Structure 1
Amino acid sequence: MTPHISRRRTGLALSTAVAAGALLAAGLSSGGAVAQPATAEKVPAAAPAALSANAKAGLLKEADTAKADTARAIGLGAQEKLVVRDVVKDRDGSLHTRYERTYQGLPVLGGDLVVHTDKAGATEGVTKAVKAELKVDTVTTAATPKGARKVVWAADGTPKLAFEKVTKSVKKDGTPQELHTVTDAATGKQLFQWDAVHAGTGESQYSGTVEIGTTASGGGFELTDGERGGHKTYDLKNGSSGTGTLFTDDDDKWGDGTPNDPATAAVDAAYGAGATWDYYEQVHGRSGIKGDGVGAYSRVHYGNNYVNAFWTDSCFCMTYGDGAGNAAPLTSLDVAAHEMTHGVTSVTAGLVYSGESGGLNEATSDIFATAVEFHANSEDDVPDYLIGEKIDINGDGSPLRHMDEPSKDGSSEDYWYDGIGNVDVHYSSGVANHFFYLLSEGSGAKEINGVSYDSPTHDGEPVTGIGIEKAEQIWFKALTQYMTSTTDYAAAREATLEAASELYGADSAEYQGVDRAWAAVNVS
């Protein structure tokens, strides 16, 4: 399932595919433009520009007004229509507008595409999840299953009429499940299935004394961050449904740094949400998860002894368990950033949470969780290429995942191989995590911020890193402009090379670094 990128000089991500992202594999118990990012002078002209919520809304409205003309311009059939999903504007004025597609009024799953235009509005190219022409008989004699909707399934390259049904339940470990099942409308055969729930001033447990956004209310304070889209933090009080109770405090001093105070987990969650918001806004010019200036919300103290955390699109929220013995909430900075990034992926590339695209989805959350750590640069949570090192999920002080050599965790994959799409997405993600580490830091033994790494390569050849600041720019541009719902590892390589070429030039060391890092993890 490889996206097709067509570049020429001229003019549905699976909307239900990514609803949430859990940190662990299931069942594992353990007004106008705003100021440019602070690092703008170091950012290439082809990097995404900062947009205010009003500016982005204006671009979305313009795209919606012109969508019929755009559909004709890019050669869509008379029965096809575009639905505007997202838009990214580069600093040089280029636009990258993401659309879902309908056919005879039916949603096309796997029909998403991105139209690339220059600053004058001329189309430069189109990135499609699936290249196949849509010609589908939408008439069926089969009865629509109860609770299902009729769709066009195009993600496997052969468009056909299908039914999509969502079944909600709860897994053994307490994680909610939203299972999407797509069946052939003619034969009843199952075509695809995925789970849309992909299984961090106060005193925090993991990041020391931190500043968090609060709002004065009724003579006291509530945990609502007015500076970051109104993000709120709620207490589920060990429940597993609903929004919970908004945290409040009399003197605006929250938590005591231990799990004995329920507000401590709230401090970590609010801090993590704020640091993640700041990262995306200051480094990539994106105001909030959707880029619309609107905050999400967090729920802490989910369930009892629940050892996981997850993002859910349906509530646009992060949810955190308290860990084993309710003593180690999964609210560390990198966990918070990981979960919020699932939301960013959902509203941009929409990488379907299964197969290789699912591994890329998980890796994207790990990649930007790491980038957020480096951007925050906390003395109490020193930046590293380890995931979940603070929450001690294994009980022995080891991290959940290692980006320099993913297989250190005993399950993750270091390199691509044919069939890796059949591996749990939390472990197939190792290939992209390894790629990002190599691209950032290079191969071989080294020490970074007091942590020792020794990253191997599939071919035994060395890789020279280009630095995390450039690596994160490349991955973000690739994610938001050139990846689609069906992107696999080969297509991710193509997307990152395209991004590196536009940002730094096709003859640049950065472009060569991307090419070499993919080769080092056996992706060509």
Structure 2
Amino acid sequence: MRVEVPLSPDPPHLCISCDPTCVSTPRDQSEGDRVRQQPHAARTSGTPRKTAVRAAALVGSAAMVVLALQNGPANAAPASHPSGAAAVALNAPARAAAIKSAQQHADGAARTLGLGAKEKLVVQDVVEDADGTVHTRYERTYAGLPVLGGDLVTHVAKNGALKGVSKATKARISVPTTAAAVSPASARKAAVKAAGTAEASASTARKVVWAAGAKPVLAYESVVKGVQHDGTPSERHVITDATDGKELYSYEAIDTGTGTSQYSGKVTIGTTASASGGYDLIDSGRGGHTTYDLNGGTSGTGTLFHDADDIWGDGTVNNRQTAAVDAAYGAAVTWDFYKSAFNRNGIAGDGRAAYSRVHYGNAYVNAFWDDSCFCMTYGDGTNNTDPLTSLDVAGHEMSHGLTAATAGLKYSRESGGLNEATSDIFGTSVEFFANNPADPGDYLIGEKIDINGDGTPLRYMDKPSKDGNSADYWSRRVGHLNVHYSSGVANHFFYLLSEGSGAKTINGVSYNSPTYDGSTVTGIGRDKADQIWYKALTTYFTSSTDYAGARSGTLQAAADLYGSGSAEYKAVAAAWTAVNVN
């Protein structure tokens, strides 16, 4: 049942977690080194005959996947696309069948791509475009060990022709031995020390091949759980060399973010009648999204929200349901945005909903996404008076789940900035999509919260440096900024691509976006910019995509959707040049 719920219009206070430990420099990369992507430059090596044989093998593999996709129910691509490059939606059984079919032919695909005898491909996702192109996302193993930073995506036309391969690394995957000199216990101990978080512990250390550096090495991946300085849970992945125990890389898997945290007036939410009477806060129309009350706790799911008369909250913090209503509303609008804009069936594309937890901790001033539980968690803000349960927060946090389910952008260096920017981009687009008069769409992040005490926003997409920390343009130091600040480059790109440069007023807000080279950029509209970013994220970005790779991926996406000679393609190139990504 859907009900009208009154909410308070007052904007609460919110602050962002900018933990400097989220940024880590790999030991084998110097400042300015950038892992380059090849989103549309795939070639197979060898003689023309060998190349033809490999291509023929991939034809057979892709044909089976295409058949599985065509046999499964799928909706047509949105009519707004001038080409057949938009992804079609698959229900859960059809998607599972496509993945199973691709996995059955993964060995043939590995041979076609010229991978080594010890390498295997593990299918993570399959996306079909309306024109029949199939994008298959793989993880790799080497001698049975997971290869971190070895992910790749193949792009195969309907007739089986290999159109390209997007790779996280160009390096040949090989290590001298898979016997580690360092014990798992020693690796765990080193990882806990390196994580530097309170109450830290690492229960396991799995042996892996680390391929995101200059040269693949045998390593351990330890997951260290603890507490960050502001009370946010920590799930830090630490990669240590299996030869000498030294840290190679680390990143934080708990993605934090911010939003406007403004209540949205009377809203419609999805609830479900309980067998025992009354109603539960379960949105059966959107994958069964469920909202729980942690009641000050910091673990578990808490208690499912239940109400006798299906009239939820009263718009004040004194009613515990109010925060739950905001969280449920934000999740519903975000689900609807992805369905409407991209024909995507849920955050992971499998029809499964995330869940939300509210009233986390005591006076916790943040919100975060945790992929391990596939859930969003919201604190109650300063003095427990301003729950961080808003539309922007939900859009931002759920988009971290989208990134995790697709490109898997690592949460540090430039890939981390792109991860955060993706959440800002789609969180902003969710706000525009909602068309809620209580919070009109804008390109200001946190504009309602007055976190600076002077009425200024937390972040600006038209000129990110106005917040005093974020980067307007790419430089060699961008990858060493906190990911919430290195995201400024992509946020600026998205604004320029959507709206263009110079002074203008949108929904009553004035903007004046500059460019690195003094050029004039003409925008193509936010809807087209969304389509290009989404397609690049889901089919061309990989775990280690940097800003150079993002430029290549979005250009390929624009070419797929609108043509390589289109105004949209040229606008993407111009917008990246305008933020110094060439």
TM-score by length of 1: 0.93
- Checking the alignment, whether the CA contact within 8 Å between 1:205 and 1:259 is kept in structure 2 is no
Tell me which residue corresponds to 2:182: 142
3-state secondary structure, aligned to 1:298: strand
Question: For 1:155, which of 202, 212, 222 is the aligned residue?
Answer: 212
Aligned counterparts of 2:446 and 2:325: Cα–Cα separation in 1: 17
Q: Give 1 or 2 for the bigger CA radius of gyration.
A: 2
The alignment status of 1:283 with 2:323, answered yes or no, reads no
Aligned counterparts of 2:450 and 2:325: Cα–Cα separation in 1: 19
For 1:25-50, what per-residue CA distance to the aligned partner results, in whole angstroms no more than 9, with x for missing partners? xxxxxx9434446x534463101112
Q: CA deviation at 1:396?
A: 4.1
Aligned counterparts of 2:106 and 2:488: Cα–Cα separation in 1: 38
The alignment status of 1:83 with 2:122, answered yes or no, reads yes
For 1:63-97, what per-residue CA distance to the aligned partner results, in whole angstroms no more than 9, with x for missing partners? 11111111111111110111111111111111111
- Checking the alignment, whether the CA contact within 8 Å between 1:235 and 1:300 is kept in structure 2 is yes
One-letter amino acid matched to 1:385: Y
Tell me which residue corresponds to 2:37: 3
For 1:404-447, what per-residue CA distance to the aligned partner results, in whole angstroms no more than 9, with x for missing partners? 11111111111111121010000000000000000000011100
Question: For 2:465, which of 389, 399, 407 is the aligned residue?
Answer: 407
Aligned counterparts of 1:265 and 1:389: Cα–Cα separation in 2: 20
For 1:131-179, what per-residue CA distance to the aligned partner results, in whole angstroms no more than 9, with x for missing partners? 1111212123332234311110000131010111111111221101111
The alignment status of 1:243 with 2:277, answered yes or no, reads no
One-letter amino acid matched to 1:86: D
- Checking the alignment, whether the CA contact within 8 Å between 1:349 and 1:483 is kept in structure 2 is yes
Question: For 1:122, which of 139, 156, 161 is the aligned residue?
Answer: 161
3-state secondary structure, aligned to 1:110: strand
The two structures, once aligned, show a CA RMSD in angstroms of 1.7
- Checking the alignment, whether the CA contact within 8 Å between 1:414 and 1:521 is kept in structure 2 is yes
Aligned counterparts of 1:399 and 1:488: Cα–Cα separation in 2: 27
- Checking the alignment, whether the CA contact within 8 Å between 2:74 and 2:88 is kept in structure 1 is no
Aligned counterparts of 2:457 and 2:313: Cα–Cα separation in 1: 25
- Checking the alignment, whether the CA contact within 8 Å between 2:75 and 2:88 is kept in structure 1 is no
One-letter amino acid matched to 1:402: Y
Aligned counterparts of 1:254 and 1:409: Cα–Cα separation in 2: 37
Matches within 5 A, 1:208-247: 208-217=265-274, 218-247=276-305
Matches within 5 A, 1:22-33: 32-33=72-73
Question: For 1:172, which of 220, 229, 239 is the aligned residue?
Answer: 229
Count of aligned pairs between the two proteins = 501
For 1:6-31, what per-residue CA distance to the aligned partner results, in whole angstroms no more than 9, with x for missing partners? 246944xxxxxxxxxxxxxxxxxxx9
- Checking the alignment, whether the CA contact within 8 Å between 1:279 and 1:372 is kept in structure 2 is yes
The alignment status of 1:206 with 2:251, answered yes or no, reads no
Tell me which residue corresponds to 1:349: 407
Q: CA deviation at 1:379?
A: 1.6
- Checking the alignment, whether the CA contact within 8 Å between 2:356 and 2:375 is kept in structure 1 is yes
Tell me which residue corresponds to 2:22: none
Aligned counterparts of 1:222 and 1:62: Cα–Cα separation in 2: 38
One-letter amino acid matched to 2:139: E
Aligned counterparts of 2:160 and 2:81: Cα–Cα separation in 1: 26
One-letter amino acid matched to 1:140: A
Matches within 5 A, 1:366-385: 366-385=424-443
Q: CA deviation at 1:323?
A: 1.1
Q: CA deviation at 1:205?
A: 5.6
- Checking the alignment, whether the CA contact within 8 Å between 2:37 and 2:548 is kept in structure 1 is no
The alignment status of 1:467 with 2:525, answered yes or no, reads yes
Aligned counterparts of 1:35 and 1:95: Cα–Cα separation in 2: 15
3-state secondary structure, aligned to 1:227: helix
Question: For 2:316, which of 246, 258, 261 is the aligned residue?
Answer: 258
Tell me which residue corresponds to 1:195: 252
Q: CA deviation at 1:213?
A: 0.9
Percent identity at matched positions?
64
One-letter amino acid matched to 2:227: V
Tell me which residue corresponds to 1:95: 134
Q: CA deviation at 1:394?
A: 3.7
Aligned counterparts of 1:284 and 1:116: Cα–Cα separation in 2: 19
Gap change, CA 1:474 and 1:69, over 3 Å in 2: same
Question: For 1:183, which of 215, 240, 245 is the aligned residue?
Answer: 240
Higher deviation after alignment, 173-182 or 387-396: 387-396
- Checking the alignment, whether the CA contact within 8 Å between 1:332 and 1:390 is kept in structure 2 is no
Aligned counterparts of 2:497 and 2:329: Cα–Cα separation in 1: 28
Tell me which residue corresponds to 1:131: 170
Aligned counterparts of 1:441 and 1:397: Cα–Cα separation in 2: 24
- Checking the alignment, whether the CA contact within 8 Å between 2:122 and 2:141 is kept in structure 1 is yes
Tell me which residue corresponds to 1:72: 111
Tell me which residue corresponds to 2:18: none
The alignment status of 1:478 with 2:517, answered yes or no, reads no
Gap change, CA 1:471 and 1:372, over 3 Å in 2: same
Q: CA deviation at 1:448?
A: 0.4
Aligned counterparts of 1:493 and 1:152: Cα–Cα separation in 2: 28
One-letter amino acid matched to 1:460: G
TM-score by length of 2: 0.84
- Checking the alignment, whether the CA contact within 8 Å between 1:353 and 1:359 is kept in structure 2 is yes
Matches within 5 A, 1:432-447: 432-447=490-505
The alignment status of 1:315 with 2:354, answered yes or no, reads no
Gap change, CA 1:317 and 1:395, over 3 Å in 2: farther
Aligned counterparts of 2:113 and 2:75: Cα–Cα separation in 1: 34
- Checking the alignment, whether the CA contact within 8 Å between 2:502 and 2:511 is kept in structure 1 is yes
Tell me which residue corresponds to 1:23: none
3-state secondary structure, aligned to 1:233: strand
Gap change, CA 1:33 and 1:388, over 3 Å in 2: farther
Aligned counterparts of 1:280 and 1:40: Cα–Cα separation in 2: 15
3-state secondary structure, aligned to 1:299: strand
Q: CA deviation at 1:262?
A: 1.1
Tell me which residue corresponds to 1:28: none
3-state secondary structure, aligned to 1:502: helix
- Checking the alignment, whether the CA contact within 8 Å between 1:230 and 1:294 is kept in structure 2 is yes
For 1:177-201, what per-residue CA distance to the aligned partner results, in whole angstroms no more than 9, with x for missing partners? 111111111122211111111239x
